[in-house]
Amino acid sequence: MVTGKSPEKSAGQDGSRGAGQSPEGGVGQDGARGVGKSARESRTEQIQVVQQQHINGYRRLFGGQLMAWMDVVAGVTARRHSGHIVTTAFVDNLEFLAPAYIDNLVIINGRVTHTGRTSMEVLVEADTEAMDSSRRPLNQAYFVMVALDETDRPVPVPPLILETEEERREWAAAEKRRAYRQGYRQK
Ligand SMILES: CC(C)(COP(=O)(O)OP(=O)(O)OC[C@H]1O[C@@H](n2cnc3c(N)ncnc32)[C@H](O)[C@@H]1OP(=O)(O)O)[C@@H](O)C(=O)NCCC(=O)NCCS
């Protein structure tokens, strides 16, 4: 997907998190420039209600619908981090863990786990919430989003400021995924 640049903060029906400036710093690489941003500044949450038009012939949420919702959350998260329009370059580890049914809530969260020069890795996690408020993991995937300038060329993104131990662990794992993807592309 390509998300347009606009000032609004929501990703559909969302309860999104606010943005703000971070101190100088961050761990961007390969020529990433400027003031860093933390993952919390671009974190995005979208809530959907599974309705008739979202289900397949087996009364379950259609997988393609969920992928589209997740793609939008990845795009909004990356747009908030970069301040540019973004496009989806790669999606990996997309795993359907459980079904969702009509009237379930689907809660989708996105956060930046890694930044390169022009690309960002966004972890998108989807959970279902049943009537009794119990939650189950539904799906999760890593999206590689690339920031684009007005001529559709990749443009540098702010480096990611790591604030927690978990974020540092995610960064280290993301470096391995990035190396794997680069090897895969060179084949
Ligand atoms: C993604 C795209 C902009 C990359 O353009 P490009 O000319 O290959 O640009 P570059 O080689 O400079 O790569 C730019 C960044 O994207 C990353 N990238 C490009 N293709 C990638 C892929 N298949 N997987 C993972 N990362 C990828 C590069 O690693 C680089 O990241 P970095 O700057 O952080 O190091 C281009 O391939 C494109 O427009 N693809 C179609 C995207 C699209 O339409 N998506 C919607 C799906 S329908």
- Asked if residue 81 has pLDDT above 50, the reply is yes
Inter-residue long-range contacts of 22-26, CB under 8 Å, 24+ positions, other chains counted: 22/161, 23/161, 25/159, 25/161, 26/115, 26/158, 26/159, 26/160, 26/161, 26/162
What is the number of the ligand 1 atom nearest to the C-alpha of 116? Answer: 34
Task: Answer yes or no: are the C-beta atoms of 95 and 142 closer than 8 Å.
Answer: no
Confidence of residue 94 (pLDDT cuts 50, 70, 90): confident
Q: What is the mean pLDDT of the chain?
A: 85
* Ligand 1 center–CA 112 separation, angstroms: 17
Distance CA 18, CA 59 (A): 36
Q: For ligand 1, say whether the CB of 144 is within 6 Å of any of its atoms.
A: yes
Q: Which of 113, 146, 175 to mutate to test the pocket of ligand 1 (most atoms within 8 A of CB)?
A: 146
Q: For ligand 1, say whether the CB of 117 is within 6 Å of any of its atoms.
A: yes
pTM, full prediction: 0.86
* SS3 of residue 148 by DSSP: strand
**Phi, psi for 124 (deg, rounded to 5):** -115, 125
Looking at the chain, the whole-number percentage of residues with pLDDT higher than 90 is: 68
Q: For ligand 1, say whether the CB of 146 is within 6 Å of any of its atoms.
A: yes
Q: For ligand 1, say whether the CB of 29 is within 6 Å of any of its atoms.
A: no
* SS3 of residue 42 by DSSP: coil
Q: Go through the domains of the chain in sequence order and give each one's CATH number.
A: 2-186 (3.10.129.10)
Q: Provide the pLDDT for residue 33.
A: 56
pLDDT digit string (tens) for 7-65? 333 333 333 333 333 333 455 454 455 789 999 999 999 999 999 999 988 889 999 99
